Structure 1
Amino acid sequence: MAKPLVTCLWFDGQAEAAANFYCSVFKDSKITQVTPMVVTFELNGNKFMGLNGGPKFKFDEAISIMVNCDNQDEIDYYWDALTKDGGEESVCGWLKDKFGLSWQIVPSNLGELMAEPERAKRVMEKVMKMVKLDIATLENA
């Protein structure tokens, strides 16, 4: 039987602080182990390991974690929570949290909105002009 995948996130001595921050943002979360080298935690049923690996590697936009949101209130909540205290807004629903990890905060129905080619073009034109995504604008595209 296949074992679940675990995402390893490399931090410069901030793994426990990051895990505590992420667990404060996601309601269905928990820290499962803390050692000087690693912190394991779960966010919405997804397993992560924070590694205190030192300063050699940094996060960049080549990898991100996508949060599917059912309504604008959820988008606003995750956007505000993940950008607070030093996070950075980007474009098209992307942001970086205060640890430099990239996130995509998107409507759960984005795939449905992009299913039909002509509508997908209109939706993408709207997305490309946004910072935080607005569900109503995308649904009306």
Structure 2
Amino acid sequence: MSKGSKITPFLWFNDNAEQAMDFYLSVFQNSKKLKVNRYGAGAPGPEGSVMIAAFELEGQQFLALNGGPMFQFTEAISFAVNCDTQDEIDELWEKLSAGGEPGRCGWLKDAFGLSWQIVPSILPELMSDPDPAVPGRVMQELMQMTKPDIVRLQGAAAGD
């Protein structure tokens, strides 16, 4: 694996780490497979199956392990993806939620059970408006959404 950031998310899968990696590589345009290590004879996993897969999404490196069924993903950990346009939100929402479970306020679980937040890049600006009523209106609008809608959020900020 190439030298990347100091902290790398390490994802524990039962037996589908390679499928998950391939899925994430297909979702994000700026992505690449870095390395795949396979179990050998006498290892805890089936010989030839993926032990650890290293990959990169949008400049962030990840490790995926086929470690067995002992652990499952929860919403306590999620990956936030900042999106500049509604088209980007729509595309990522459709791809990541396919076979998964849409949630509220831009949250979703993908088909592997991993939680993602699809976040309009404009949201921090709207939430830090000096008028204290604006963040409240924006949050109320966001709480009614599944997939974020930038126009609706901007309308809420404007008081529409």
TM over 0.5: yes
3-state secondary structure, aligned to 2:63: strand
Partner of 1:119: 134
Runs of 4 or more consecutive aligned structure 1 residues displaced over 4 Å after TM superposition: none
CA distance in 1 between counterparts of 2:116 and 2:10 reads 15
The structure-2 alpha-carbon separation of the partners of 1:3 and 1:24, relative to structure 1 and needing over 3 Å to count, comes to: closer
Partner of 1:5: 7
User: Equivalent residues in 2 for 1:17-96 (5 A)?
Assistant: 17-36=19-38, 37-84=51-98, 86-96=99-109
CA distance in 1 between counterparts of 2:141 and 2:83 reads 18
In structure 1, the gaps of 5 or more residues are none
1:100 correspondence with 2:108: no
CA distance in 1 between counterparts of 2:23 and 2:123 reads 27
CA distance in 1 between counterparts of 2:134 and 2:81 reads 23
The structure-2 alpha-carbon separation of the partners of 1:3 and 1:46, relative to structure 1 and needing over 3 Å to count, comes to: closer
Q: Calculate the TM-score normalised by the size of structure 1.
A: 0.95
Query: Which of the two has higher C-alpha Rg?
Result: 2
3-state secondary structure, aligned to 1:140: helix
Q: Calculate the TM-score normalised by the size of structure 2.
A: 0.84
**CA contact 2:5–2:61 (8 Å) conserved in 1:** no
- Specify the code of the residue in structure 2 equivalent to 1:120: P
- Specify the code of the residue in structure 2 equivalent to 1:118: A
State how many pairs are aligned: 139
